[in-house]
Structure 1
Amino acid sequence: MFKITEFSKISQVSAKALRYYDQIGLLKPSYTDPDTGYRFYTADQLKRVHRILVFKDLGFTLEQMIPLLDGALGTEQMRAMLLHKSAEIAEMLREEQARLNRIEARLDELDRSEDGEPPLDVIVRQTGPEWIASIREVTSKSKVPGLIRELRQAVKTLYKGALDQRVIVLWHSCAECEDAVDLEVGVPVAGPLPDQGRIRVRELKGAKLACIAHSAGLAGSYEVTAKLAGWLEEQGYGISEKEPSREIYWELPDQPASPVLSELQMPIVDRPGGAPGAEGGQA
C-alpha cells in the first residue's frame, strides 16, 4: 500500500484533494490507521482516480461523480446525464459567442466614432411588477411636461407619500404621431391606492426590457431608435406586442426637445434560436 504522499505523486492528485475526496465519500482510502489517522491507498484505486479525472474533464461536479463511479446509475441514466451536460456546455458556448459578438460590435463602434463620444450601450433588464399612479391621454408630446407636473403635484397632495424621483412615460401607440399619441405618464407609488379623478393607480407588469440611456429628450432621436433596432436585430430578439415601450426620466423635461437624461426601455421576447440570455450585455 502507499501512504497518501506517495499515492499523491503516483496519481498526480494533491494530498489535500485526496483528503477532501475521502471526506465526501468520493474516494475512500483502502486503509486508515486507527491510531495515527494516516491514510493508505492501493494501486487498484488508481483506476477510480483516473475515472474521477475523466468526469472532471467532462465538467461534472465531484458530488455528481459519486453515483457515476459507484455504479448506482444504469447505462440509460448515465447517457441522460451526459446528454444533459452536453446541452449545458452547448448553451454556455452559445452565450459566450453572443458575448464575443457584442464585444466585437463595441470595438467596431469605437473604431467608427469620429467625435470621441462613447457609443450608446444597450442592456437587457428583467423588471418586476410595481404600482404606479398615472394619467393616460391621446395628446401631443408637447403636453407631456405639463402632464408630469400635474401628476406629481396630485400624487403629492392626494396620497401624501414621498415621491419617487422617476417619471415613467408609456408609449401605447403612434409615438411618432404629432398630436395623436396614446401615451401614459406615471410615477411609482407604494402600493394599491384608490383612483382619484383621472388619476389611475395600477400595477405595471414586470417585463424583459432592452434599455438604452440617452439625452435626446421627449422628441426622441433617430440615432437612439436606430441603434436599438439594429441591436435587437443582431441579437435575435423580437419586440413584445403586448406591452408598450417605456421611457424613464430622472429629470423633468421643460420641452420635448430638452436634452435630459432618460432611458428608453423596449419590451422584448426571445425568438427561437435567438438571443441566449444577454442580461447585462452591452452592444
Structure 2
Amino acid sequence: MYTIGEFAAIGRVSVRMLRHYDAIGILPPADVDERTGYRYYADAQLADLLRLVELRDLGCGLDEIGAVLSAADRSSAMREVLVRRRAQIETSIADDRDRLARIDERLHILEGATPMSTVEYRPIGAVTVYAVEGRAPGMGPENVSPAIDPLIERLTGAIGAAGREPREPGVFWYEAVPDSEELAVHVSFTADPEPVPGEGYDVVDLPPIATAAVLTHRGDMPSIGRSWMALMDQVVADGYRITGPTREVYLEAGPELSQDQWVTELIAPVARD
C-alpha cells in the first residue's frame, strides 16, 4: 500500500489532485483509515493512475477518463476516447491554421502589401425570395457555416416538391435572436416573377435599402469572415453605422464551381452617425 504522498509522487501529480479524483469518484483510494482519515492506495491502482495521467496529458476530459477506468473493456474504451480526441486536435489545428492565415493577411494589409477591398455605398432594391430559417449557436463562420448546408438542402427540397426550380442568386441574411446568443440564419433563393407559395418555405419580401455598404467577396466560405471584417472596418472608418440585418448575395456559386471561384456580395444597411 502507498500513502497518498507516495502515490502522488509516483504518478507525478499533486496530493490535491488525488483528493479531487477521489471526490469525483474517478480514482478513490483502496483504503481510508477511519481514525486518521489517511488515504492509502494499492499496487494494482498504479495502472489506473498512469492511465489517468496519460489521458489528461493528451487533453481528454475527466468524464471520458472516468468512462475508460470503469469500462469492462478498457482497451476498446481507450481506443474510442483517443480516436475522438485525435479528431478534436485535427479540428483545432485546422482552426489555428485559418487564424494564422487571417493574421498574415491582416499584417500584409497593415504593412501596405495588400490593398483593402473596396467598399461602395449604394441603394439596394427590394427582392422577393423563397426562404427557410435555422439557428446557429453564435456569430462567426465556425458557428454559421455548419448550419448553411442543411438549410440549403431543406430549401431546395421544398422548392422542388412545389414543382419549382431554385432561382439564382441565393440570398442569405442573419439576425440576432433576442435574449439569446444564437443567430437566426435565413437561406433563400430568388422567387419567381409571380411568387408561388409552397409547403416547407416562406415567401419573404426583403425591403429595399436606401444606403448599403457593399463589398464583393471572391473565394470560399471559410474566408468570408475576413471580408466581413474588412467591410465593417471600412464602414466605421467612413463614419457609418449598421442599421439592420446584413445580407450575402451569391452572384456566382453552386456545386458546378469550386468555392474559390464563388463571387458573393456582402451587404450591410448603413446610415451616418
TM-score w.r.t. length of structure 2: 0.47
**Between Structure 1 and Structure 2, which shows a larger proportion of strand residues?**
2
Instruction: From the CA coordinates, give the structure whose radius of gyration is larger.
Output: 1
TM-score w.r.t. length of structure 1: 0.46
